[in-house]
Amino acid sequence: MPTLHNLGFPRIGRRRELKFALESWWKGNTDTSTLDAVAADVRASMRNAQQGLDHVPVGDFSFYDQVLDTSLLVGNIPPRFRDLPGDTRDTYFRMARGRTAGDTHPAPASEMTKWFNTNYHYIVPEFDADSRFALNADTLLAQIDEARQAGATPKPVVLGPVSYLWLGKSFDDSDRLAHLPALLAVYKTLLERLADAGADWVQIDEPALVMDLEPAWHDAFRSTYAALADTAPKLLLTTYFGPLGDNLALAVDLPVAGIHLDAVTAHDEVQPLIHALPADRVISLGVIDGRNIWKADLTVLLDWLEPIAATLGERLWLAPSCSLLHVPVDLAQEDKLDPEIRDWMAFAVQKLEELRLVGRALAEGRDAVADALADNARALAARRSSARVHKPAVADRLAAIRPEDGDRDSDYTTRAELQQKRLQLPSLPTTTIGSFPQTAAIRHARRDHRAGRISDEIYRQAMREEIRSCIRTQEAIGLDVLVHGEPERNDMVEYFGELLDGYTFTRFGWVQSYGSRCVKPPILFGDIERPKPMTVEWATYAQSLTDKPVKGMLTGPVTILNWSFVRDDQPRSDTCQQLALAMRDEVRDLAAAGINIIQIDEAALREGLPLRHADWPHYLDWAIRAFRITANGVDDAVQIHTHMCYSEFNDIIADIANMDADVITIETSRSHMELLDAFKTFEYPNAIGPGVYDIHSPNVPSQAEIVALMRKAGERIPTERLWVNPDCGLKTRGWAEVKPALENMVAAARTLRAPVPA
Q: Quick check: 180 binds ligand GLN (CB under 6 A)? A: no
Q: Quick check: 553 binds ligand GLN (CB under 6 A)? A: yes
**Binds ligand GLN (CB under 6 A): choice among 11, 16, 446, 731:** 731
Q: Which stretch binds ligand GLN (CB under 6 A): 249-257, 437-445, 567-575, 725-733?
A: 725-733
Q: Contact 329/14 with Cβ under 8 angstroms?
A: yes
Name residues contacting ligand GLN, limited to 605-644 (CB under 6 A).
643
In the complex, residue closest to ligand GLN by CB: 729
Q: Quick check: 474 binds ligand GLN (CB under 6 A)? A: no
**Taken in order 434, 438, 441, 442, is the CA torsion positive or negative?**
positive
Among residues 444, 613, 672, 696, the one annotated as catalytic is: 696
**Binds ligand GLN (CB under 6 A): choice among 435, 438, 639, 668:** 435
User: Binds 542, which of Zn ion, ligand GLN, none (CB < 5 to 8 A, cut-off by type)?
Assistant: none
Phi then psi for residue 748, to 5 deg, are -65, -45
The distance of closest approach from Cβ of residue 553 to ligand GLN in the complex, given in angstroms and rounded to an integer, is 5
Nearer to ligand GLN, 209 or 656 (CB): 656
For helices 440-450 and 456-477, the axis angle rounded to 10 degrees is 160
User: Binds 434, which of Zn ion, ligand GLN, none (CB < 5 to 8 A, cut-off by type)?
Assistant: ligand GLN
Q: Contact 630/670 with Cβ under 8 angstroms?
A: no
Q: Which stretch binds ligand GLN (CB under 6 A): 5-13, 174-182, 201-209, 432-440?
A: 432-440
Nearer to ligand GLN, 112 or 257 (CB): 112
Give the C-alpha separation, 283 to 273, whole Å.
8
Q: Per-residue x/- marks for ligand GLN, 74-103, CB under 6 A?
A: ------------------------------
The distance of closest approach from Cβ of residue 489 to ligand GLN in the complex, given in angstroms and rounded to an integer, is 8
Q: Quick check: 695 binds Zn ion (CB under 5 A)? A: no
Where on the phi/psi map is residue 16: left (φ > 0), alpha (ψ -120 to 50), or beta?
Answer: left
- Given 3-state DSSP classes, what are the helix, strand and coil percentages for the chain, each rounded to the nearest 5? 50, 15, 40
Catalytic-residue membership of 696: yes
Nearer to ligand GLN, 383 or 731 (CB): 731
- The 3-state DSSP class for residue 552 equals strand
Tell me the three-class secondary structure of 194-212, residue by residue.
HHHCCCCEEEEECHHHHCC
Q: Quick check: 603 binds ligand GLN (CB under 6 A)? A: yes
Q: Quick check: 729 binds ligand GLN (CB under 6 A)? A: yes
Q: Which stretch binds Zn ion (CB under 5 A): 181-189, 238-246, 419-427, 724-732?
A: 724-732
Q: Quick check: 494 binds ligand GLN (CB under 6 A)? A: no
Closest CA to 63 of 516, 509, 510: 516
Q: Quick check: 265 binds ligand GLN (CB under 6 A)? A: no
Q: Quick check: 277 binds ligand GLN (CB under 6 A)? A: no
Q: Which stretch binds ligand GLN (CB under 6 A): 175-183, 245-253, 429-437, 696-704?
A: 429-437
Q: Contact 358/533 with Cβ under 8 angstroms?
A: no
Q: Quick check: 645 binds ligand GLN (CB under 6 A)? A: yes
Q: Contact 489/555 with Cβ under 8 angstroms?
A: no
Q: Which stretch binds ligand GLN (CB under 6 A): 16-24, 428-436, 632-640, 696-704?
A: 428-436
Q: How many CB atoms lie within 10 A of CB 50?
A: 23
Q: Quick check: 728 binds Zn ion (CB under 5 A)? A: yes
430-466 exposure pattern, b = at least 16 Cβ within 10 A, e = fewer: bbbbbbbbbeeebeebbeebeeeebeeeebbebbbeb
User: Binds 429, which of ligand GLN, Zn ion, none (CB < 5 to 8 A, cut-off by type)?
Assistant: none
Nearer to ligand GLN, 283 or 638 (CB): 638
Q: Quick check: 601 binds ligand GLN (CB under 6 A)? A: yes
Q: How many CB atoms lie within 10 A of CB 427?
A: 13
Name residues contacting Zn ion, limited to 629-668 (CB under 5 A).
645
* DSSP letters spanning 473-489: HHHHHT-SSB--B-TT-
The distance of closest approach from Cβ of residue 233 to Zn ion in the complex, given in angstroms and rounded to an integer, is 46
Q: Contact 556/605 with Cβ under 8 angstroms?
A: yes
Give the C-alpha separation, 657 to 624, whole Å.
10
Helix (H) or strand (E) holding 136: none
Residue type present at position 95:
M
Q: Quick check: 581 binds Zn ion (CB under 5 A)? A: no
The distance of closest approach from Cβ of residue 645 to Zn ion in the complex, given in angstroms and rounded to an integer, is 3
User: Binds 606, which of Zn ion, ligand GLN, none (CB < 5 to 8 A, cut-off by type)?
Assistant: none
Give the C-alpha separation, 252 to 207, whole Å.
15
The distance of closest approach from Cβ of residue 519 to Zn ion in the complex, given in angstroms and rounded to an integer, is 16
| Nearby residues of 171 by Cβ (< 8 Å), 6 or more positions away | 126, 127, 128
- The 3-state DSSP class for residue 545 equals coil
Q: Which stretch binds ligand GLN (CB under 6 A): 297-305, 323-331, 563-571, 724-732?
A: 724-732
The distance of closest approach from Cβ of residue 601 to Zn ion in the complex, given in angstroms and rounded to an integer, is 7
Q: Contact 418/636 with Cβ under 8 angstroms?
A: yes
Q: Contact 626/580 with Cβ under 8 angstroms?
A: yes
**Binds ligand GLN (CB under 6 A): choice among 434, 497, 526, 556:** 434
Q: Quick check: 301 binds ligand GLN (CB under 6 A)? A: no
Residues lying near ligand GLN in the complex (CB under 6 A) are found at 433-435, 486, 492, 553, 601, 603, 643, 645, 728-729, 731
The catalytic residue positions are 696
Residues lying near Zn ion in the complex (CB under 5 A) are found at 645, 728
